[in-house]
Amino acid sequence: MSNFNIENVQALVAKAYIPHAEIAFGSDGANGIRALLDCVKLIFQRCPPEKLPGTLTVAVGIQATPLSPAIATLGSPTACSDYSDIGRFLAANPPASHSVVEISSDGSFRLLVLTNDVDLKALAQEALVYRFDGSAERILAKDFEDFVPSISPMLKSNFATPTLSGLEEAFDYYSKYVLETNCRLLKDIWEGGVDGPRLILVNKPEAKMRDSLTQALELLLRDVTVKPEQNTDETKPVDIRVNWFASGATALIEIKWLGKATAKSQSPGADPTYTEYSASRAQSGANQLADYMDREVRHSGAITPSGYLVVFDARRKGAKGAGDALTASDAMAFANDVIVYNPDHAKTRPDFEPPVRFFMNPRKSHFKAA
C-alpha cells in the first residue's frame, strides 16, 4: 500500500505552476495558485473525488469581488461560507452535472451547477482555474493550460488523500490472503482446520470474517478509524464502519458468507446438520445494505457515505461433510462465478459501490481423481 503526503504533493504542484500563473496575472497569479490549491484540497476533504457526480471547476477570480464574481457570466451563483456546505452541494448535484466553485477575496464562496460544460479558456482569461473531470486534472491561466501529472494510479486526485480508492485497493490486497486462508484470524473458520479439505465452515463464521477484515483495514488504510458492528440507527447494525479523518468519506461494509457451515446441534451426539447459503444470500445482503444506507442518510451527518457488500464465497459443488474428497472441478466450481444482482443497487444509486467477492480456495491436496 502506498503512503502519500498530500501537503507535499500540493506544494510541489504549486511551485510547478506558479511561473505560468505569474506570467498571466503577475504577483496576484502566484498568490492565487496557492489559494486555489488550498481550496481544492479542502473541498476534497469534504467530498472525495470518487463521489463527485460530474466535473468540478474551481476558480480564483483575479479582479473579482464577492459582489461581482468571475463565474457570474456562467449563471446566478449561490453564496456560501463553509467547506462542509460545499461538500453537501457537490454530493447532491445530479449525475453528469458540472459543478463550479469560486473562492472570493473575503474567503467566501460562490457555487454553480450547470447542465452544459464550462468554457474553461474563456473563464481562464479572468481567473485561475482548476479542473477535475474524473480522470485528469488541469490548471489554466489565460492562454496557459497545464495538465497535472498523476503521481499514482491509487490517487483519484493529487490533492485528495486516498479514501474510497484506497479502500478498494485494500480489498484487492486482502483478497490474496483470503484466497488461501492465510489470515491468522481466519484459520479457525474451517471444520477440520485450515490444513484440512476446507469444504465446510464452522458454525457462525461471520464474526471471524468481520474481525479479520477489520484488522486488515486498520493495517492497510491511512488516517482512518475502523469500527466493527456499528449501528446506523437505534436498531440496525452494520458490520464495519470506516471513517476517514478530516474527510466527508464514510464507508459502511456489510459482510455475508456463501457455502455450507455446521449448524449448532440441539442434541448432544447427534449427526451434524448444516446451514447452506447460495448466491441468493448475496442478494439479500445487498438489499439489507441498501436499507442501511437509507437509514444512514437520515441519522448521520456524513456527507458522502458509501456502502460496500463484501461476500466471502466458500461454495463447493456436492460437499456433504467436512471430510469429503471432491474432484477439482466440483471443489472449484464457483471459483470464477459472477453473482448477478437483481435489483443491482450499485447501478441505480450513487451511494452503493459494486459488491466485493472473496473466493476461498479448498485445499488442493485433498482433491480426488475425476
- pLDDT at position 2 is 47
Q: What is the DSSP string of 15-31?
A: HHHHHHHHHHHTHHHHH
pLDDT bracket for residue 307 (50, 70, 90): very high
Residue reference for cell 453528469? 96
287-298 pLDDT per residue, tens:
999 999 988 776
pTM for the structure as a whole: 0.71
Cα 177 from Cα 171, distance rounded (Å): 10
pLDDT bracket for residue 362 (50, 70, 90): very high
75-109 pLDDT per residue, tens:
999 999 999 899 989 988 999 999 999 999 999 99
- pLDDT at position 45 is 85
Q: Which strand (E) or helix (H) includes residue 261? A: strand 249-263
Packed helices 27-46 and 6-25: angle between N→C axes, nearest 10 degrees = 140
Tell me the mean pLDDT in the region 341-361.
Answer: 95
Q: Which residues of 196-226 are buried (b: 16+ CB within 10 A; e: fewer)?
A: ebbbbbeeebeebbbebbbbbbeebbeebeb
Residues recorded for the chain? 370
Boundaries of every domain in the chain:
6-148, 164-366
29-40 pLDDT per residue, tens:
989 998 998 899
> Does pLDDT of 62 surpass 90?
yes
> Does pLDDT of 1 surpass 50?
no
Q: Which sign does the torsion angle of CA 73, 43, 107, 18 carry?
A: negative
Q: How far is CA 19 from CA 22, 31, 88, 159, 188, in A?
A: 5, 11, 34, 20, 60
* 118 phi-psi bin (left φ>0, alpha ψ -120 to 50, beta other): beta
Tell me the mean pLDDT in the region 359-369.
Answer: 92
All residues at 6 or more sequence positions from 326 whose CB lies less than 8 Å from its CB, including other chains? 197, 199, 316, 317, 318, 319, 362, 366, 367, 368
Max mean pLDDT range (37-46, 213-222, 340-349): 340-349
260-287 pLDDT per residue, tens:
999 976 566 677 889 999 999 999 999 9
Q: How far is CA 342 from CA 253, 289, 292, 356, in A?
A: 19, 14, 18, 16
Could you give phi then psi for residue 46, rounded to 5 degrees?
-95, -30
pLDDT bracket for residue 10 (50, 70, 90): low
Contact predicate 76/110, CB 8 Å: no
> Does pLDDT of 311 surpass 90?
yes
Percent of the chain having pLDDT more than 70? 89
